[in-house]
Amino acid sequence: MNALSESAGASGIPGLAPQVGPVALQVMAQALQALAAQQGWMLGLKDAADGRYLLVNEAMAAFLGRPADQLRGRTDAELLDAPLAHLLRTADNTALAHGAALSSEHRFDWRGERREWSVLRAVCELDGRRLLCSVWQDLAAGRQRETQLKAALEQLEQQQKANVALRRELGDTGLRDQATGLSSRGHFDDQMRREVDLSTREHREFALVYMEIDPLTDKVRAFGERALERIHESMGRLLRGNTRAMDASCRIDNRRFAVLLSGVGLATAHSRMEGLRRQCATQIVALDGQELGFTVSMGVASYPHTAHTQDEVIAACEAALESARKRGGNSVALASIKFG
């Protein structure tokens, strides 16, 4: 590349200033080689007239199975079998005819296995000499990650279905919501009345949290009610996993949930719900092999700091939830504390 750069003079590379000199070209070439080495890309530079290699990096040399200095001046026809060499020469000619940078994918058997590459070819001129630069990216790793992710999502989806079936089998329909495994609304209201009475008698505190699923993305809405069912199941698991035996949680309707945190003050409740909000935002919900996401808004009130009766606590919680929604969702808002 050094020899090539030193003989360059003025640049004929499209998009570069006409007075770019050999030093700048050498720096650019070194930067491209460094990037290719970092990303594991194969890099080759050919003479457009006869297809002979002028430069290859270590990855390309390893691919072709020869040291880099033995590849200079050789063509693909001298290094590869005839069908593959013809395939690459055809792709090179297409790029040369196109003129600008051209991206394509190649799939062929290589050393006993099917391989895939994404190849970017770019044409440039130096002192009237046309050159063809090609950058090869192996798609195997990306394809493998996609396959692994799909398998993980399918496994997670099967686990979710098994959890739903088990919950329906073991659930107490009188006290539990079958869709989420949470307390029924009536049972939750009874527990809240007991908590208010207990806190009044013993001068202790508790927190109430209202949460609402934020507006869903177009991708999630496309799945219809099934997506909402999966989100409800996910919310049930998260709420059961983030509450204690003395706490209570329920599904109010298709979008709202409520949590009663016994003996917990406003600051502690906010901290715990902030952690739950982050879990919701990163939760993987799988459906038909696709990953769905959702976020929630939360309003937190406490007794007796923000209200002194059950109705006042609920109203304060509603107001805090509305504040979180006005912030754009995916947030936790605290009810205001009354003084005096």
Query: Is residue 140 within 8 Å of 113, Cβ to Cβ?
Result: no
d(CA 184, CA 234): 17
Q: Do domains 2-138 and 172-334 have the same CATH topology?
A: no
pLDDT at residue 155, rounded to an integer: 72
User: Is the peptide bond preceding residue 83 cis, with omega within 30 degrees of 0?
Assistant: no
Buried (b) or exposed (e) across 142-156, using 16+ Cβ within 10 A? Answer: eeeeeeeeeeebeee
Superfamily name and number for 172-334: Reverse transcriptase/Diguanylate cyclase domain (3.30.70.270)
Give the CATH number of domain 2-138.
3.30.450.20
Which pLDDT belongs to residue 69?
Answer: 86
- pLDDT band, very low/low/confident/very high, at 181 (cuts 50, 70, 90): confident
pLDDT, position 170: 52
Flag whether pLDDT at 61 surpasses 60: yes
17-32 pLDDT per residue, tens: 344 455 555 666 677 7
**Residue with token string 């030193």:** 6
Distances (CA, A) of 24 to 41, 125, 216: 22, 15, 50
Which pLDDT belongs to residue 160? 72
Please report the pLDDT score of residue 187 as a whole number: 86
What residue segments make up the domains of the chain, in order of their start? Answer: 2-138, 172-334
Give ∠ CA 42-44-49 in degrees, rounded to 5.
155
Q: What is the mean pLDDT of residues 149-155?
A: 75
**Per DSSP, which regions of 86-231 are E strands?**
102-110, 113-126, 129-138, 206-213
Summarised one tens digit per residue, pLDDT across range 197-226 is: 999 999 899 999 999 999 999 989 999 998
Q: What is the pLDDT of residues 268-284, one digit of tens each?
A: 999 999 999 999 999 88
Model pTM score: 0.54
Lowest mean pLDDT among 20-24, 137-141, 218-222, 334-338: 20-24
